[in-house]
Structure 1
Amino acid sequence: MAFLLFAGLVTQLAYLQISNGESFAAEVNRTGTTTVAGSVPRGEIYDAKGRIMVDNKAEAAITYTKNVSTPAEQMYTVANRLANYVTVDASSLRERDIQDYWLANPKNTKRVNKQLTKKQRKFKDNKLYKVQLKVAKTIKISLTPAQKQAAAIYKIMNGATQLSTVNIKDQKVTQKEIAVVSEHLTSLPGVNLGTNWEREYPNGKSMNTVIGRVSSEKSGLPSESLMSYLELGYARNDRVGTSYLEKQYETALRGSKSQTEVTLSSTNQIAKQVEKYNGKKGSNITLTIDSKFQAKVESIVKTQFNKALSNGNAALSDGAYAVVMNPNTGAVLSMVGFKHNFKTGKLDEDSLGVINRSFVMGSAVKPGMVLGALQDGVITRTNNTQSEDPIYLKGTKVKSSDYPVGTYSSMTAQHAIEVSSNIYMMRLVMKEAGVSGNDYIPKQRMRMNSDVFEKVRGYFNQFGLGLKTGIDMPGEVAPTAGKKLNEYGVLNTGAALSIGFGNYDPYTLIEMGQYVSTIANGGYRMQPYLVQSISQSNSDGSTQVESTTEPNVLSKIGNSNADVNFVKQGMWLVGHGTDAWATAKVLGNLNPGVAAKTGTAQSVAHVNPEDTSSAPVDTLNISLVAMAPAKNPQITVAVVMPNVSLSSHGYTKDMTHDIIQAYYDMYHVKKVSGYSSTQQTMP
């Protein structure tokens, strides 16, 4: 019987050898192909004049490409050898990393396996490793400094996916390390010399918060959006823009990875590599901002804040912010912000605050209030005179203007803008709210239509106040309007009145920039943007423009050109009026002349700004919006300095004056012959 079985086995083997020998040989020599992607340099960022703002700094790197099914023992050996040639940072090693490295040593694995049951030893792959790791945790593992270096290298190797390349060391690689590793590459399978890049900022920290950041290879893809990136073909250790412009324009800046076809042998070793596509460097983006003008505006803003600080007017102030725009296109020409660091007493760069910090801006919104009233029909350009009697609500302080009660008996709309009459704007709100006859009895009652908030805010919305502007970067905050009802659930009439002169709802400075630009260009709400174009640098040094941002009109206000010019005339008088209460005569000496509106809003800070439970202190938010030149505006300016002392009003005026003068000087804006600072009519 045994003989028969043996004879049958021999016969079957002969059949297989004769009939299927070729197919078995082919299987032994079988190869497979796969495609490996390689990284390319990220696109640069330039200013409006072609000056580089964000560059790539190339640095030498020592890399490791993980093969298919690379055993831990091989990585352990390579890590130990490589640790003799390079120095890496081992400070971030965790206990688990040390255990992984220790278990990669076959001697240690054998030691651990002796403590496993027969059943456990039969476990496969991850299941077996889990029980081995459990035993390793009970063993006190002590590594020498050299072994810790090797463990740090092993950690990087072990974390790489199959056929992916990672950097073992990509910063401060010495020439000696490059030379020694190069000499020993044959004994370091998978290790190679490569190039790494880091973002470099020739202009220093200017606009860094707006430009944003790029992740490191170590941090890789952001965990909160990991799956979406992986679906787009990213590797886990790929570098991506993690914030603001770097993130918003990630698709353009990242470029196209190189493609290498890798042929694997039947033992899953790399048999052949052929580059199919050498990749395409990321596209460059050009900003609307001139870095020299940006630097000038930064200097002006910082100077005015420091002046306020040294005068004792800004000890509790949050900082200072400014934005300059082209009102005809929406292009942002300068975006500056400095946040007051109360711990250090210094100013931290915070250009991003222009879009993500909101403040009650005060009277700068009054031109919009007048234009809304003209739309509503409660006043006309020829019939707009109102009483200057202050408003008395029950149980509250008198609601009046900055100048003494009784200074004026009545007021026109343009005069109200010139001297910044709060009373005039409150009476416009009353008219829009349907207040008439017995609806208002001083110190007794004020009855308004319940839709007054929606109506007034609706007009402001047409200019962009109370709405996101749509600027081309993430992080713009959604405006938060004040409450309609008071603590008793009744319509808050006092707050409704305050909206009219800008003392209730908060706005971001980019909203203020969009708002004044809408007035400046005749009524078109333009979408602000920071990126002018996207282009690709060709190998011959030429540039190919891939896309250009076109001005985008979001909406048109419901006013006629005559209405807009009527309000501009009032804004002209702010700097050129002869009334002693005109609010910004310092702007009158700018030639060509400008139209503007100042703003002051009541605010509250704390004795200790970092402790909201500390004693409250009354402060002011001071702001200003302007268009220059007034006749055919090339720029608009919006500035704010929150929480200054009650005695300080001039800093934003000087700030705006100097910004406009800097623009005139830098871009050679011609002076108007025969110009007068007291010229009453806007040219």
Structure 2
Amino acid sequence: MFEFKQTGQQQKQRFRLRAWVAAVFALACFGVLVARLWHLQVDRYEGLAARADRNRIAVVPIPPRRGEIVDRNGEVLARNYRAYTLEVVPAMAGPLDELFKSLQGLVPVTPADERRFRRRVSESSRYASVMLRNNLTEAEASGFAAHSFLYPGVSLKARWVREYPQGASAGHVVGYIGRISETDVEMLEEEDRLGNYRGTEVIGKKGLEKTWESVLHGRTGLEEVEVTATGRPMRTLRRIDPVPGSKLVLSLDMGLQRVAEEAFGNRRGALVAIEPATGDVLAFVSQPSFDPNLFVDGIDVDNWKLLNESPDHPLINRPLYGTYPIGSTYKPFVALAALELGKRRAGDRFYDPGFYEFGGQRFRNAGSAVYGMTDMTRALVVSSDTYFYSLGPEIGVNALHDFMKPFGFGQLTGIDLEGERRGILPSTDWKRAAYKSREQQRWYAGETISVAVGQGYNSFTLLQLAQATSVLANDGVYMKPHLVRGVLASGSVQVEPTVSEPSYKVPLKQANVDIIKKALVEVVNSGTARRAFAGAPYQAAGKTGTAQVYSLRGGQYRASQIDERLRDHALFMSFAPADKPTIAIALIVENGGWGASVAAPLARKVFDYWLARDGKGGANDVPGAAPPGDMQGEPGPDEDASDHAVIEEDADAPPEIAPAPAMGNTPPPTTDTDRAPPAPATKPRVPPVVKAAGSAAGNIAP
């Protein structure tokens, strides 16, 4: 009995011990739990609460509305409209083939849409929202909205879509937008602007859309939205409205722009019109042009091939990128240089026997025309090559270079468009830098003769010629050329001007400027441009020009016997009214023939619109004017044939005179001065604009 009692007592003690151990263990566990809860709820409250809010609250960027672009009269060149898009998060949408099939009844998805979508998915994360269809109709949008619950990961969104209502008119000026590429992202990161592009899919790619991107884009807003675990929005907690982009007010007059573009017809060329007193670019024509609307959502392959493979190169911005020898339109500036540098007086008479002989070689007038005793005014009126040939050695290439530089020849004008080329304003220093061999680096005296008549190594953009004409018309005052007249910020009524003061003034004697201006008036009244401006209700001043595309090598020019794309370029520079110019023009018709019969009538049409504003008396109404598309052949008795000088070589000519390729009217390679061009051409040469800008290809949709 006693043993049984003792055994029971021991069991109770063991039980109590176990109970205490279990109780202590349980209390220890609860202690650890309480400590952990204290750590999480008190010590780390702020950090964990913020993380919880971030899981519960989604920050959604709100892209701003892009700024509009209007001309000086308020006519819209670029605007926005609201459109519906269908976007898909691939990771949440399930098998894509099944999704495309099930959507057909609500929102048709074409094979092109599928290819574009798959390409975009491959370029981004599977958890990113990718556009499947854009520009949905109201019926398609409402139909999908009613059945959206059946399509997880698919959402209907509204976005701003860019539109260019003028189409191809001023297409090179306005440019276009396109999808943001990896290169664009890198650029935005470098400039610390990427944060402002969250939620934005497009960026300016060309023209003013690119140059003024930071102004047009605006400031991105945001919205804090409470969402469920599946990401469905519940309510908006906070919103910061986006700031729309500023409006660009251009100096362009779209009425004048259209008149100039229509005057070109189906011909290739360029025209720039500038208001001398302000530097406002009134018209900026590059023909042929392109429709920027093709690039907004990615250009299709067929349209891209049409643009990129066209022999007319519509993607080339000719006034900005094309470089040309400018022929006789250079002569007024050479004459002014002779006056300013004291090399010749305006009244000095020079005998023109029809040729200029130098170093045993003869440089002839076109058709071997003989002008007899000629002073400076008559030389400009009849466009005597012999007179200006003789000025070349007297002035010298370096002095000519230094005089022409302030007018903008061979210089970047700084216009608010990207892609401007410098061209070539030749000098001995330029040639030493451009060529490698000692023989090529040497400047020959005979080369200056070709330079003095606007040929040889001269190679300028039409913008530079227009700017130089504007500076001359403005008595030497250099106003920076610009396309954006002012910026109108969102919510503001005050337009902020972009250019208000002259850049500098070219030091010229007014008496010398007046001599050149009067001579240019005579060119229009009784010289090579008189037929184009007959009966004009205003007094214009100008100079015709014809520039060779390839070397004649002593032969005679016959337009009808050579390929159309090897015919001469027709040029014209002018300003009006002559006494108080309000417009200065430079234009080129590529392979158009003669400046007097092709280019001058085109300028007349532009002047008639700007100065007369009656829509009458256009180029096609002027006696002797060439209708659009009519390529002129050989010159008539009143036309400017001065750039087709014939060189007769003397077999006994000393070797130190310029070699044959550089002596005649052989134009130089039209390359930038940034790199050495090849040797002067010795065989027929293609026109200066030879290939399309490849950078536009980055916005192709398959």
Shift of 1:474: 0.8
Q: Does 1:222 find its partner at 2:211?
A: no
Q: Which amino acid aligns with 2:319?
A: V
Shift of 1:509: 0.7
2:546–2:595 Cα contact (<8 Å) kept: no
2:63–2:200 Cα contact (<8 Å) kept: no
* Corresponding residue for residue 475 of structure 1: 419
Shift of 1:429: 2.1
Deviating more after overlay: 636-645 vs 26-35? 26-35
* Corresponding residue for residue 621 of structure 2: none
Deviations 1:166-192 (A, max 9, x none): 534223x24454234323444555543
Between the aligned partners of 2:123 and 2:97, the Cα distance in structure 1 is 10
Q: Does 1:560 find its partner at 2:513?
A: no
* Corresponding residue for residue 580 of structure 2: 632
- Please show how residues 453-602 of structure 1 align to structure 2 within 5 Å: 453-481=397-425, 484=431, 489-504=441-456, 505-536=458-489, 538=491, 544-577=493-526, 582=528, 584-602=530-548
* Corresponding residue for residue 389 of structure 2: 426
Between the aligned partners of 1:159 and 1:46, the Cα distance in structure 2 is 40
1:82–1:181 Cα contact (<8 Å) kept: no
Q: Does 1:320 find its partner at 2:344?
A: no
Between the aligned partners of 1:521 and 1:667, the Cα distance in structure 2 is 26
Give 1:46's match in structure 2, choosing from 70, 82, 96.
70
Between the aligned partners of 1:478 and 1:160, the Cα distance in structure 2 is 47
Cα-Cα RMSD? 4.0
Deviations 1:95-147 (A, max 9, x none): xx9xxxxxxxxxxxxxxxxxxxxxxxxxxxxxxxxxxxxxxxxxxxxxxxxxx
1:40–1:258 Cα contact (<8 Å) kept: yes
Between the aligned partners of 1:623 and 1:292, the Cα distance in structure 2 is 23
Between the aligned partners of 1:401 and 1:15, the Cα distance in structure 2 is 110
C-alpha change, 1:152 and 1:589, in structure 2 (3 Å) is: closer
C-alpha change, 1:593 and 1:654, in structure 2 (3 Å) is: same
Aligned partner of residue 242 in structure 1, secondary structure = strand
Q: Does 1:13 find its partner at 2:13?
A: no
Between the aligned partners of 2:22 and 2:563, the Cα distance in structure 1 is 100
Shift of 1:598: 1.1
Q: Does 1:167 find its partner at 2:131?
A: yes
1:470–1:528 Cα contact (<8 Å) kept: yes
- Structure 2, unmatched stretches of 5+, are 1-17, 290-305, 433-437, 553-561, 617-702
C-alpha change, 1:344 and 1:652, in structure 2 (3 Å) is: farther
Deviations 1:422-443 (A, max 9, x none): 222222222223xxxxxxxxxx
1:604–1:643 Cα contact (<8 Å) kept: no
C-alpha change, 1:237 and 1:415, in structure 2 (3 Å) is: same
Q: Does 1:88 find its partner at 2:34?
A: no
* Corresponding residue for residue 402 of structure 1: 366
1:59–1:197 Cα contact (<8 Å) kept: yes
Deviations 1:195-229 (A, max 9, x none): 12332222221111221110137x58636736436
- Please show how residues 311-390 of structure 1 align to structure 2 within 5 Å: 319-339=268-288, 352-381=317-346, 384-389=348-353, 390=355
Deviations 1:56-76 (A, max 9, x none): 232112345x7xxxxx86443
C-alpha change, 1:231 and 1:284, in structure 2 (3 Å) is: closer
* Corresponding residue for residue 613 of structure 2: 666
1:330–1:551 Cα contact (<8 Å) kept: no
TM-score (norm 1): 0.71
Shift of 1:484: 4.0
Between the aligned partners of 2:84 and 2:227, the Cα distance in structure 1 is 29
Shift of 1:360: 0.7
C-alpha change, 1:73 and 1:281, in structure 2 (3 Å) is: closer
Deviating more after overlay: 279-288 vs 233-242? 233-242
1:75–1:154 Cα contact (<8 Å) kept: no
Between the aligned partners of 1:204 and 1:605, the Cα distance in structure 2 is 39
Q: Which amino acid aligns with 2:33?
A: Q
Deviating more after overlay: 192-201 vs 269-278? 269-278
C-alpha change, 1:384 and 1:583, in structure 2 (3 Å) is: farther
Between the aligned partners of 2:229 and 2:261, the Cα distance in structure 1 is 63
1:31–1:266 Cα contact (<8 Å) kept: no
Between the aligned partners of 1:351 and 1:615, the Cα distance in structure 2 is 22
C-alpha change, 1:464 and 1:5, in structure 2 (3 Å) is: farther
2:219–2:242 Cα contact (<8 Å) kept: yes
Shift of 1:22: 5.3
1:516–1:627 Cα contact (<8 Å) kept: yes
- Structure 1, unmatched stretches of 5+, are 67-71, 98-148, 306-318, 434-452, 607-613, 670-683
C-alpha change, 1:249 and 1:368, in structure 2 (3 Å) is: same
2:259–2:609 Cα contact (<8 Å) kept: yes
Give 1:415's match in structure 2, choosing from 374, 378, 393.
378
Between the aligned partners of 1:9 and 1:205, the Cα distance in structure 2 is 84
C-alpha change, 1:9 and 1:263, in structure 2 (3 Å) is: farther
Aligned partner of residue 499 in structure 2, secondary structure = coil
Shift of 1:364: 0.6
Deviating more after overlay: 584-593 vs 248-257? 584-593
Between the aligned partners of 1:81 and 1:616, the Cα distance in structure 2 is 55
* Corresponding residue for residue 36 of structure 1: 60
Q: Which amino acid aligns with 2:460?
A: Y
Between the aligned partners of 1:534 and 1:455, the Cα distance in structure 2 is 41
- Please show how residues 88-107 of structure 1 align to structure 2 within 5 Å: 88-89=109-110, 91=112
Deviating more after overlay: 344-353 vs 249-258? 344-353
Shift of 1:336: 1.4
- Please show how residues 226-375 of structure 1 align to structure 2 within 5 Å: 227-228=189-190, 231-233=193-195, 234-235=197-198, 238-262=201-225, 273-302=236-265, 305=267, 319-339=268-288, 352-375=317-340
1:156–1:168 Cα contact (<8 Å) kept: no
C-alpha change, 1:668 and 1:267, in structure 2 (3 Å) is: closer
C-alpha change, 1:589 and 1:268, in structure 2 (3 Å) is: closer
Shift of 1:414: 1.6
Q: Which amino acid aligns with 2:169?
A: S
* Corresponding residue for residue 599 of structure 2: 652
Between the aligned partners of 2:315 and 2:124, the Cα distance in structure 1 is 39
Shift of 1:668: 9.9
Aligned partner of residue 503 in structure 2, secondary structure = strand
Aligned length: 553
* Corresponding residue for residue 571 of structure 2: 623
Q: Which amino acid aligns with 2:483?
A: L
Between the aligned partners of 1:287 and 1:80, the Cα distance in structure 2 is 50
- Please show how residues 123-162 of structure 1 align to structure 2 within 5 Å: 158-159=125-126, 161=128
2:575–2:585 Cα contact (<8 Å) kept: yes
Between the aligned partners of 2:474 and 2:545, the Cα distance in structure 1 is 21
Q: Which amino acid aligns with 1:640?
A: I
Shift of 1:491: 1.9
